[in-house]
């Protein structure tokens, strides 16, 4: 009992709205929307409930005063600046739906709410929503100590974000039911065998409970 209580207290402290930022990763229409370039991943995000849980977390973050960042992967129509040094990038070039700058494909997907206080960070290259982007500088300017990582995919971008966050000195928190990958049984394996070693793994409901809990001086 005491161990469980201390664990609950620890995550509550980690999720203080004043020092927590919620990051959504590639939750854009061209990735998890109905016209996705990656229909299998989009289906996994929706049928697992992960996308709906991201939406719940974003709405709760808005209510609790937690800063929200949306990390979007996109591509210029002329391809300038895009990476070409991995099979993934070459395959993406041939997809029928392109994540083109300014297109509907790079808008945040429903049902995720976006407020005027949210920031959208766009990248033209690489695999990580953090490395080589403005995210780290923004997190430091916000006084962030804890980064909650949500979205897709559990195969590539989510572990990339978690590793980068930890290497940069942030505490990473992963709500396991608010991330998705393919095949469907890969996500829990990634969480159990990799992410749990470096991040605090929790659930959407536990995060919502923490952010709704009254705090002294708030």
Q: Which comes out higher in pLDDT, residue 172 or 10?
A: 172
Q: Could you give the percent of the chain with pLDDT greater than 70?
A: 92
Quote the pLDDT of residue 91: 78
59-69 pLDDT per residue, tens: 999 999 999 99
Strand partners, 150: 24
For residue 51, give both structure tokens: 């996308």
What number is the average pLDDT over the span 135-156? 98
Tell whether the model's pLDDT for residue 6 goes beyond 60: no
Select from 163, 59, 73 the least CA-distant residue to 124: 73
What number is the average pLDDT over the span 143-153? 98
Q: Which phi-psi region, left, alpha or beta, contains residue 49 (left: φ > 0; alpha: ψ -120 to 50)?
A: left
Q: What angle do CA 18, 111, 170 make, to 5 degrees?
A: 30
Tell whether the model's pLDDT for residue 10 goes beyond 90: no
Quote the pLDDT of residue 93: 79
Tell whether the model's pLDDT for residue 217 goes beyond 50: no
Residue with tokens 């195969």: 155
Quote the pLDDT of residue 89: 77
Q: Are 30 and 105 in contact (CB under 8 A)?
A: yes
Tell whether the model's pLDDT for residue 11 goes beyond 90: no
Quote the pLDDT of residue 88: 80
91-126 pLDDT per residue, tens: 777 777 888 899 999 999 999 999 999 999 999 998
The gap between the terminal CA atoms of the chain, to the nearest Å, is 28
Quote the pLDDT of residue 3: 44
48-57 pLDDT per residue, tens: 999 999 999 9
Select from 67, 52, 63 the least CA-distant residue to 178: 52
Residues 6+ apart with CB under 8 A from 44: 50, 180, 181, 182, 183, 184, 187
Q: Which phi-psi region, left, alpha or beta, contains residue 143 (left: φ > 0; alpha: ψ -120 to 50)?
A: left
Tell whether the model's pLDDT for residue 26 goes beyond 80: yes
Can you give the pTM of this predicted structure? 0.91
């Amino acid at each position: 009992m005491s161990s469980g209580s201390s664990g609950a207290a620890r995550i509550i402290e980690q999720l203080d709205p004043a020092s927590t930022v919620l990051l959504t990763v590639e939750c854009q229409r061209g990735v998890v929307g109905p016209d996705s370039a990656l229909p299998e991943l989009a289906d996994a995000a929706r049928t697992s409930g992960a996308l709906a849980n991201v939406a719940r977390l974003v709405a709760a973050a808005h209510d609790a005063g937690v800063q929200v960042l949306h990390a979007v992967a996109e591509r210029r129509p002329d391809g300038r600046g895009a990476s070409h040094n991995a099979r993934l990038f070459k395959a993406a070039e041939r997809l029928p739906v392109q994540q083109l700058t300014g297109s509907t494909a790079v808008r945040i997907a429903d049902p995720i709410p976006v407020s005027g206080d949210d920031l959208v960070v766009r990248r033209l290259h690489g695999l990580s929503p953090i490395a080589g982007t403005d995210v780290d500088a923004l997190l430091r300017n916000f006084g962030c100590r804890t980064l909650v990582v949500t979205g897709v995919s559990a195969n590539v971008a989510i572990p990339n974000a978690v590793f980068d966050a930890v290497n940069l000195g942030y505490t990473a928190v992963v709500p396991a039911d608010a991330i998705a990958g393919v095949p469907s049984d890969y996500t829990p394996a990634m969480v159990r065998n990799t992410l749990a070693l470096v991040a605090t793994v929790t659930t959407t409901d536990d995060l919502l409970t923490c952010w709704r809990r009254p705090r002294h001086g708030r």
